[in-house]
Structure 1
Amino acid sequence: MRGPRRRPLPAGQDPFYEPPIGFAAAAPGTVLRSRSVRIALLAAIPQRITAWQLLYRTCDLSGVPDATVTTVVLPGDVSGPVPLLAYQCAIDAISSRCFPSYALRYGAFAPGSVPQVEWPIIVTALRRGWVVTISDHGGPRGSFGAPREPGYRVLDAIRATLGFAPAGLSPETPTAAWGYSGGGMATSWVAELAPSYAPEIALVGAVLGSPVGDPGDIFARLNAGPFAGLPLLVVTALRRVYPELDRLLRAHSEPAGIAAMDRIETCTTTEALVRYRGVDLTDYLDRPVVELFAIPPIPALFDELRLGERAPACPLLVQQAVRDEVIAVENVDGQVERYRRAGVHVEYVRVRFGGHISEMFLAPSSALAWLSDRYAGRPLGPGGTGAVASSGLSGTGIRGVFGLAAAAFLALVGRPAAGLVPGPFTRFIGRTRRAA
């Protein structure tokens, strides 16, 4: 008879996350500690799959040595070389309960964390025979929204994974990056910083799903609306990163504002959105939020958050819903335009119908096809901007929807890398996967 399920410990309580003495002298991407872990759908359905966690040396946005964790998931039985995918979850929180290294583990208590619902998307990549590395790209302090830092952490996670013998990879392994929303923002930093920070990585492409573009503008737009919890999360996280912002907020916040920032640090993403729906940050301040954020050095800080100011060396696929209720399409248009002015090859797909949440589960179909072409070394398309009615209505989209449904089913039965039970439906799924 099995004993009671043992709940894993989040960062801050688990000694695994603590780097050893002297780790700062190690090269970026050095594996400091590793362990095998059990992955579970929604923390409740164990997945029959091989997964490891690596504590590795990296740095924060200022280049100060730091350590964080990536979760490495291996596909099923494969023969020959396999590519590596760095998948950036939409962590969108400060709480360590939302870190993928915790939320994806069997027994984790993380209701409302986004990485848990992204697992079926990750399974679609595993089903193609790709090794997937999933970094805690916000670092041990959950620095949601911080500039540069996600890029450093993910690129070092790639280095750590490539050098981790059980993954069976090599330094020449073709590697790509992919993420949506907060994960798309993190993936943008990966692509932008790779040429200068990790030029040795064979980064063949990056998919930026709804990648934010201009966090400062998004902040102002979402305040006092249904997604007001997101800007409150960002400003709370950034006060940990920028001492001058913390001092300014403390000087001009009402006691209720300080209490709200302290409280939101413990919330999962969904908890924060529900609890702070419609909140106007001005109610927590002694002056209008627009006036406060006009005080130096805040404008310069927001400029530092803007994406598209550095040119990636790899080709990009950018996906964005025109009617996205969270990320304004104009901000992503601007990010794409800045890349193009720098000579970056960008294929930009603007989706006329659909919203932020629906595209999270419809966009993977074209993303997977595009990534497969990059791994295979197929010629790039002409680039440019295209418009589609829906990501799920094209031939690739329909196949992708069935593929994601199959991945979700396999995750539900705990066999994400296994074959489906033969039958008319599963034979159809197999044909569509091969066609994709």
Structure 2
Amino acid sequence: MSRAARLLATAVVATMTAAVAPAATAHAAATTSTTAATDDSFYTYDGSAPLASYAPGAVLKERTLQYHVLGVPTPLKVIQLLYRSVDAQGRPVANVTSVVRSLTGQSGKAVSYQSFYDSLDPADSPSRAIAGDVTLGGVIPNAEALFLAPLLLEGYNVVIPDTEGQKADFAAGPEYGAATLDSIRAATSAADTGLTADTEFGLEGYSGGAIATDWAAAMAPAYAPEVNRRLVGFAEGGLLVDPAHNLKYVDGSLVWTGVIPMALIGVSRSFGIDLTPYLNSYGLQVYNATQHASIVGALGRYPGLTWKKMAKPQYANPDSVPAFVNAVNRINLGSAASPTVPGYIGQGDGGVFEGTFSNVSGIGTGDGVMVAGDVRALARQYCASGETLQYQQFDLLSHVGTAAAWAPLALGWLGDRFAGKAAPSNCGRIAAGNSLTPEAVTPGS
């Protein structure tokens, strides 16, 4: 293992441990942001021309600042760009990305690193942490500064988009993908980044970052073909594929149940739907308390929580809510296009170590929050489309444990793609997975 890979493995352990072991005393502050940048005018498009008049990826503003870690400036310089993108409903929006130059000054290769900041609060975004903000939910993008060292040591420029947009549309895969691809467009068109239309890119992300990575790879051929031509491949792990399955998988678990209300809020916010009429008084209490929560504050906050405990009796089955079914089907990767570049996907299947003991028929087991059968099914689907894919399942590792094992392997896999080596494939040896057929509305009780 290279020095960079060892550094990355150490960084992953530290970062993911911080993410899943929040102190109980922090729960009360989970919805509170202590930030100055939420009022930063840089994040607001204030031009005279309509935003829709700009092409996706067009640079609207630019600034250079020092890279901050937990509010402390470092000597590392970063260029932040406000650029035009689209939200989950295809409407024009302004978003921010951060570009960190290679330590060797190379311009020919870059990694678009998608953060797993997983938050319903825009104040927790990577760009705000980089600019010096300190929030509870921002502990993840602050700690992810550790991921930069191995990438920069390998000579990559690093582009870090705020994948959830400025409204923090948690789990809205299509918005994540557009934000990532338009971030690359912006980074390669801004003069001061040193990146050009000839710069090759790799995509990398774990967990929430894997959502953005996979959607970007899947959307690129149609949404950003000029970007797709420069992609050497994508490396991801701990992937959300079919959100309807994930909600049933984590139902009643000990740690990951906090993603249930977070996902409901993210779906509602992203697609402009109102799920509150389907919730009982307790469900509304949890829903309202989680409006601005991050994964740091939500994990372990509601042990044993289920959809049924939150819903009115006639909606005990979430599939009885048409608006919910419509929304989750729109973010099911099984219904999206297949990437046309090589990929490496890692997935754990030891979720019992993180308190998820579910094994529902048709869903099965996973890493504690992500469903292994869904990821296998998606991998096989990509293989069937002709993609060169390497899938690796870590049977005894949970979501956190898999991250530590996957990260140095992903770094090495990307390095080989940049070096021009043929991508490995194990398409003929991936075990069968789940059906990724869209959910159907089931009549309520």
TM-score, length-normalised on structure 2? 0.79
- Report the equivalent of 2:6: none
RMSD of equivalent CA atoms: 2.1
User: Is 1:30 equivalent to 2:30 in the alignment?
Assistant: no
Of 55, 68, 85, 1:40 maps to 68
Give the Cα–Cα distance (whole angstroms) in 2 for the partners of residues 184 and 119 of structure 1. Answer: 17
For residues 249-264 of structure 1, what are the structure 2 equivalents within 5 Å? 249-264=275-290
Give the Cα–Cα distance (whole angstroms) in 2 for the partners of residues 338 and 123 of structure 1. Answer: 34
Give deviations 1:299-335, integer Å, cap 9, x for gaps.
3332222114311111111011122222121111111
- Asked if the contact 1:113/1:268 (under 8 Å) is kept, the reply is no
Give deviations 1:357-416, integer Å, cap 9, x for gaps.
1222331111111111111222222443779xxxxxxxxxxxxxxxxxxxxxxxxxxxxx
- Asked if the contact 2:279/2:310 (under 8 Å) is kept, the reply is yes
**Relative to structure 1, is the Cα distance of residues 381 and 211 closer, same or farther in structure 2, using a 3 angstrom cutoff?**
same
- Report the equivalent of 1:298: 324
- AA aligned opposite 2:388: H
- Asked if the contact 1:93/1:265 (under 8 Å) is kept, the reply is no
- AA aligned opposite 1:34: E
Give every structure 1 segment of 4 or more consecutive aligned residues whose post-TM-superposition deviation is greater than 4 Å: none
For residues 33-432 of structure 1, what are the structure 2 equivalents within 5 Å? 33-41=61-69, 43-78=70-105, 80-111=106-137, 113-201=139-227, 202-225=230-253, 226-243=255-272, 245-246=273-274, 249-287=275-313, 290-308=316-334, 309-323=336-350, 324-384=367-427
- Asked if the contact 2:280/2:312 (under 8 Å) is kept, the reply is yes
Give the Cα–Cα distance (whole angstroms) in 1 for the partners of residues 259 and 315 of structure 2. Answer: 15
- Asked if the contact 1:135/1:153 (under 8 Å) is kept, the reply is yes
Task: Give the paired residue count.
Answer: 375
Give the Cα–Cα distance (whole angstroms) in 2 for the partners of residues 100 and 310 of structure 1. Answer: 28
- AA aligned opposite 1:139: G
**Relative to structure 1, is the Cα distance of residues 46 and 277 closer, same or farther in structure 2, using a 3 angstrom cutoff?**
farther
- Asked if the contact 1:112/1:271 (under 8 Å) is kept, the reply is no
- Asked if the contact 2:262/2:293 (under 8 Å) is kept, the reply is no
- Asked if the contact 2:267/2:327 (under 8 Å) is kept, the reply is no
**2:95 alignment partner, SS class:** strand
Alpha-carbon shift at residue 46 of structure 1 (Å)? 3.1
- Asked if the contact 2:109/2:201 (under 8 Å) is kept, the reply is yes
**Relative to structure 1, is the Cα distance of residues 322 and 329 closer, same or farther in structure 2, using a 3 angstrom cutoff?**
same
Alpha-carbon shift at residue 102 of structure 1 (Å)? 1.5
- Asked if the contact 1:131/1:167 (under 8 Å) is kept, the reply is no
Give the Cα–Cα distance (whole angstroms) in 2 for the partners of residues 112 and 367 of structure 1. Answer: 24
**2:94 alignment partner, SS class:** strand
**1:365 alignment partner, SS class:** helix
- Report the equivalent of 1:415: none
**1:157 alignment partner, SS class:** helix
TM-score, length-normalised on structure 1? 0.81
| Greater Cα offset, 250-259 or 215-224 | 250-259
Give the Cα–Cα distance (whole angstroms) in 1 for the partners of residues 185 and 207 of structure 2. Answer: 24
Give deviations 1:47-66, integer Å, cap 9, x for gaps.
32111211100011222111
Alpha-carbon shift at residue 257 of structure 1 (Å)? 2.5
Give deviations 1:86-135, integer Å, cap 9, x for gaps.
11111211112321111333352335642223221232111111111111
- Report the equivalent of 2:442: none
- Asked if the contact 2:169/2:267 (under 8 Å) is kept, the reply is yes
**1:196 alignment partner, SS class:** helix
Alpha-carbon shift at residue 282 of structure 1 (Å)? 2.4
| Ranges in structure 2 where 5+ consecutive residues have no aligned partner | 1-33, 351-366, 431-445
**Relative to structure 1, is the Cα distance of residues 288 and 346 closer, same or farther in structure 2, using a 3 angstrom cutoff?**
farther
- AA aligned opposite 1:126: L
Alpha-carbon shift at residue 40 of structure 1 (Å)? 2.8
**Relative to structure 1, is the Cα distance of residues 386 and 373 closer, same or farther in structure 2, using a 3 angstrom cutoff?**
farther
Give the Cα–Cα distance (whole angstroms) in 1 for the partners of residues 218 and 308 of structure 2. Answer: 34
Alpha-carbon shift at residue 255 of structure 1 (Å)? 3.7
- Asked if the contact 1:94/1:265 (under 8 Å) is kept, the reply is yes
Give the Cα–Cα distance (whole angstroms) in 2 for the partners of residues 276 and 217 of structure 1. Answer: 19
**Relative to structure 1, is the Cα distance of residues 336 and 382 closer, same or farther in structure 2, using a 3 angstrom cutoff?**
closer
Give the Cα–Cα distance (whole angstroms) in 1 for the partners of residues 143 and 166 of structure 2. Answer: 22
- AA aligned opposite 1:314: V
**Relative to structure 1, is the Cα distance of residues 124 and 317 closer, same or farther in structure 2, using a 3 angstrom cutoff?**
same
**Relative to structure 1, is the Cα distance of residues 109 and 302 closer, same or farther in structure 2, using a 3 angstrom cutoff?**
closer
**Relative to structure 1, is the Cα distance of residues 158 and 299 closer, same or farther in structure 2, using a 3 angstrom cutoff?**
same
- Report the equivalent of 2:18: none
